[in-house]
Amino acid sequence: MDIAALDSAQVLRENLLKWICFCFGILASVFTYFNLFINDFYSLGILEGVFAIYCFYTFNYARTRKFQTWQPLLLCLCIMLLVTLGTYLAAMRSGLFIWTFTLPVLFYLLLGCKRGYYLSLLLVCIQTAVFTSKTSLAPFLDLNLYLNMSFSYLSIWVIAHTFEASRAQFAERLENLALLDPLTNTGNRLAMNHYFEVELVDKINLFIMVLDLDYFKKVNDEFGHDVGDQVLVEIATILRETLNKGRVFRTGGEEFALFIPDSNQQESYQIAENIRVSLQSTAINVGEREISLTASIGLAAYRDGDSLKQAIKAADEQLYYAKKHGRNNVYSDSQQYSAKLEQVS
């Protein structure tokens, strides 16, 4: 599965922002010419001209670079300013106020539920103040216009809010299905990849721990796979509770990978040792059975420029030494380095 698919909402909004800017740039250019040279509406025409330039700039920016979080918000605020100011300055017969109905959809698509709701509410308040400040709503009848405007805007607002809330909810559920191990509720391999490549922006002082339960096959052979599954669930709970920072991922069978960011060799080793001791000293109750397990742990520091595969391989090598030296222990790359120095000296 492509990692980018997990950020589908972000990708959608990037594409939407880009092409909305292109379309609004063209529309604003047309209205600029129309208001400057035909309507003699210079104030609005100049504002629309500036807006057109901004739209084309943002379109060009979004084609080559990742957009900033403030850019869609600024675009929505600019459009709202143009519509509300145009409604205030122009006569009602110009029909400029009709653009009000398009804005809730735009707000929700570009900004999501929370910001979309607040901007839609702000637009209602501003437009209400604008309409009540006008001396005449001719050629429209006041009551008819107010009722039709209110019900139409409210309907569009409710539809936009319901759609975006449902989309966000389903997107979160799909992401959980894609990223969570269904048995232990820890992250899976895809989640680990996403965490390493996308979420973990600063990998300096990152330590990777690979943990393997010792002789876990005996649990499955003696008690059955159902009991083994329950034991894995309890083990995952212990790992999450003992790991005071970082993330836990199940990479397969009885093996887990743990990521400890912003740490150092001593602290990360102590965390690994705490996990080992906690597992050794905890008896897991499954029905009337009491099962005790130990774990072998390999720990490695992230080396600048390493891929995820290389980082996991380094920790796997330490896990091999931990098993080789009797299991139920922690082995780190610093121990390997110290051992080599001793051999040289």
Give me the residue label for tokens 């010792």: 214
Distance of CA 328 to the CA centre of its chain: 37
254 is catalytic: yes
- What CA dihedral angle connects 141, 146, 148 and 149, to 10 degrees? 130
Strands (E), 153-231: 207-213
Phi, psi for residue 331 in degrees, rounded to 5: -125, 135
- Smallest CA-to-CA distance from 192 within 237, 255, 238, 259 is with 259
| Contact call for residues 50 and 29 (beta carbons, < 8 A) | no
What residues contact 92, with CB distance under 8 A and at least 6 apart? Answer: 134, 136, 137, 138, 139, 140
Phi, psi for residue 284 in degrees, rounded to 5: -95, 120
Single out the catalytic residue among 172, 254, 267, 273.
Answer: 254
Tell me, what DSSP letter sits at residue 209? E
CA 150/CA 148 separation, integer angstroms: 6
Token output for 203: 């990998």
Active site residues: 254
